[in-house]
Amino acid sequence: MTTPSYSKLLPLPEACGLRESLRRRGGTLVFTNGCFDLLHPGHLDYLARARGLGTALYVGLNSDASVRRLGKGPERPVCPEGDRALMLSGLSMIDAVIIFDEDTPLELIRRLEPDVLVKGGDWRQEDIVGSLEVLTRGGRVHSLPLLPGYSTTSLVERIRGSGGTAA
C-alpha cells in the first residue's frame, strides 16, 4: 500500500521551511518522536502536554523498517506507517508529522533545530537522542511523566491474551 497524502505529513525539507517561518514569527517548536503504534490515551495525554510547551508540535514518526530494527517484536509495528501517520495527522495538537527511516531522530533534530525536545518519562534527560544538540543551542529538554496504565506493548499483550477478540 502506498502512503496517501495527508496535510500534516511532510517531507523533511518542507517541515524545515515551515520551521523557519515559525522562527521568524517568534514561535517555539516542540519536537518529539516515536512509533505511535496502536494510538492510546497515554499517547494523547503525552502529545497534549508536549504541545503545551510551545507554539507548534512536530512529531518524528519511525518508519516501519525503523520500528522493526528497534526490536519490539516480529509483529511490530501492528499498524503500518501510513496508518500511523494518518492517526497522528488527525490530532489537533500536532502541526507536522515527519516519517524517518533512521534508527534515531538525530538528523531530524539537527535539521529542524527544535526549541524544546520532549520524550516520555521512561527516558532520562541525558539519554534522550538530540538533547545535547538542543541544550547547546539554548533549548530545553523534557522527560514528561507517562500516564499510568497505558503502553502499546501491554495493549498488544492484552489483545493477544484475549484470543484476538478485542474490539
89 pLDDT higher than 80? yes
pLDDT of residue 165: 47
High-pLDDT (> 70) share of the chain, %: 85
Q: List helix spans (H) across 30-119.
A: 41-51, 64-69, 81-89, 106-112
Report whether pLDDT(16) > 90: yes
- Tell me the domains of the chain and their CATH numbers: 12-161 (3.40.50.620)
Closest CA relative to residue 59, chosen from 39, 80, 85, 81? 85
The closest alpha carbon to 117, from 33, 12, 31, belongs to: 31
Residue 166 is predicted with a pLDDT of: 45
Q: Which of 134, 154, 128, 119 is nearest to 49 (CA)?
A: 119
| pLDDT averaged over every residue in the chain | 89
Count the residues in the chain: 167
Higher pLDDT: 6 or 69? It is 69
Per-residue pLDDT at 73 exceeds 80: no
Q: What is the pLDDT of residue 153?
A: 63
Q: How far apart are CA 53 and CA 118, in angstroms?
A: 9
